[in-house]
């Protein structure tokens, strides 16, 4: 079934993965002795978005960039420790 899904579109590829942790879209899920812990997943090929401190953009662009990053960190972090790591 996975092979059939991978042949559906050339830009979408699903990977079989068995283990105690796995990335899923923008989230990293880890099984720690039966407890699922989540944090934000950073793709290796993706570069972080530069915050436009000095640009011609409106101020709402700067606020939205920071707000979105913080919101994602809150949503994907299971513990306060994971959240603090993302904020740094």
What pLDDT, in 10s, does the model give residues 3-38?
888 888 888 788 777 778 888 777 888 888 888 888
What pLDDT, in 10s, does the model give residues 47-79?
666 666 667 777 787 788 788 888 888 887 888
| β-sheet with 21-24: strand ranges across | 21-24, 27-32, 35-40
From the list 51, 76, 74, 73, the residue with the least C-alpha distance to 64 is 51
Residues 72, 25: contact at Cβ < 8 Å?
no
Non-local (6+) Cβ contacts of 14 within 8 A are 2, 5, 6
């Amino acid at each position: 079934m996975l092979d059939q899904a991978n042949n559906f579109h050339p830009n979408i590829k699903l990977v079989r993965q068995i283990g105690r942790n796995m990335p899923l879209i923008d989230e990293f899920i880890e099984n720690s002795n039966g407890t699922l812990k989540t944090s934000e997943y950073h793709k290796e090929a993706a570069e972080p978005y530069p915050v436009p401190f000095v640009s011609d953009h409106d101020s709402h662009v700067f606020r939205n960039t920071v707000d979105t990053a913080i919101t994602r960190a809150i949503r994907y972090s299971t513990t306060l420790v994971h959240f603090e790591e993302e904020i740094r």
